[in-house]
Amino acid sequence: MANNGISDKSHFTNRNKFDEFYRLNFLQSEKGVWLAQFDKPMPINIPIEQQEEHLMKHAYLSDCNITFVKMYGYEDPKEMIGARFPQLFDNAEAANLENLRTFFKTDYRVIQKETCEIGKKGIRKYFLNDVVGVIEDNHLVRVWGMQEDITLQKSESEPKNSLEKQLTPQQLNVLRLTVEGKKIKEIAAELDISPKTVEYLRKRIKDEFDTESIPELVALAIKFGIEIRKN
């Protein structure tokens, strides 16, 4: 089976050709490439509800490239290989479940489907996915995927109220005052909280949006439409 440059070893009669493909198209791809396998191959003739349950219970990440792991905030594939699907795939998202069911209904192949997934520290990440399953003896035995990180584009296009859904009122006040250039002691005095609480809230906000510095946080907040009050 092949799809958008994703292929399966069974199509290579020559091991050297497969190794060459692996090096050029898997390890060096600018997109995140991953391979999932199963503890138990999944029968494709069972109801879709049972297929969902089987995948969540028995599928795990067996291989991926460095681009893929960096999309989730990690540095080494070893940090992610072995992860079970529920650790990465947010099945509380209705759109994710609908895409999964589409995958089952369309001969185990989907193109350019958006998913919301879980990165390091529980940070929500958005991806565009091309996914293809490999069928052997009427069983789904593995799944190849290729994905592109669109988290930043999503944050730029979403309205301001999406930020309000992700942060508490106190976190929003700290973020707004940070964008205005206030120092920690000034923010603490204005909100009547301790400087340590301000530092803690800033850290929680940075973790939520996977930012490392205050300038990155300010830039992201401005993209979300945070209003800056004039002094």
CA 167/CA 175 separation, integer angstroms: 9
For 178, the token pair is 């940070």
Lowest mean pLDDT among 58-67, 129-138, 174-183: 174-183
Residues 112, 185: one domain?
Answer: no
Q: pLDDT higher for 167 or 24?
A: 167
User: Could you tell me if 14 and 125 lie in one domain?
Assistant: yes
Domain limits for position 175: 158-223
Residue 48 has pLDDT above 90, yes or no: yes
Q: Looking at the domain assignment, is residue 205 inside a domain?
A: yes
- 213 and 99 fall within a common domain: no
Tell whether 21 and 113 lie within a shared domain: yes
Last residue of a domain, one of 105, 131, 151: 151
Q: Please, what sign has the CA dihedral across residues 87, 92, 94, 97?
A: positive
Does 180 lie in the same domain as 140?
no
Q: 166 and 108, same structural domain?
A: no
Q: State pLDDT tens for residues 162-184.
A: 666 677 888 888 888 888 888 99
Residues 90 and 22 in one domain: yes
More confident residue, 77 or 216: 77
The answer to whether residue 38 sits within a structural domain is yes
Q: How many domains is the chain built from? A: 2
Last residue of some domain: 97, 120, 151?
151
Q: Residue 109: which CATH number? A: 3.30.450.20
Give the pair of three-digit tokens for residue 84: 């079970």
Torsional sign, CA 205, 208, 210, 216: negative
Phi and psi torsions of 85, nearest 5°: -55, -45
Q: Which residue has the higher pLDDT, 119 or 196?
A: 196
Instruction: State the pLDDT at residue 91.
Output: 73
Domain boundary among 151, 167, 182: 151
Confidence label for 130 from pLDDT (cuts 50, 70 and 90): very high
**Per-residue confidence (pLDDT) for residue 226, from 0 to 100:** 65
Residue 2 dihedral angles phi and psi, to the nearest 5°: -140, 150
Give me the pLDDT at residue 184, please: 93
Integer angstrom CA distances of residue 199 from 45, 83, 92, 154: 54, 32, 31, 27
More confident residue, 210 or 163: 210
Residue 229 pLDDT grade (very low, low, confident, very high; cuts 50, 70, 90):
low
Q: Which residue has the higher pLDDT, 11 or 54?
A: 54
**Which pair of tokens denotes residue 45?**
């003739």
* Same structural domain, 17 and 93: yes
Same domain for 19 and 106, yes or no, is yes
Per DSSP, the three-state class of 96 is helix
Q: Are residues 192 and 215 in the same domain?
A: yes
Whether 89 is in a domain gets the answer yes
Residue 110 lies in a domain: yes
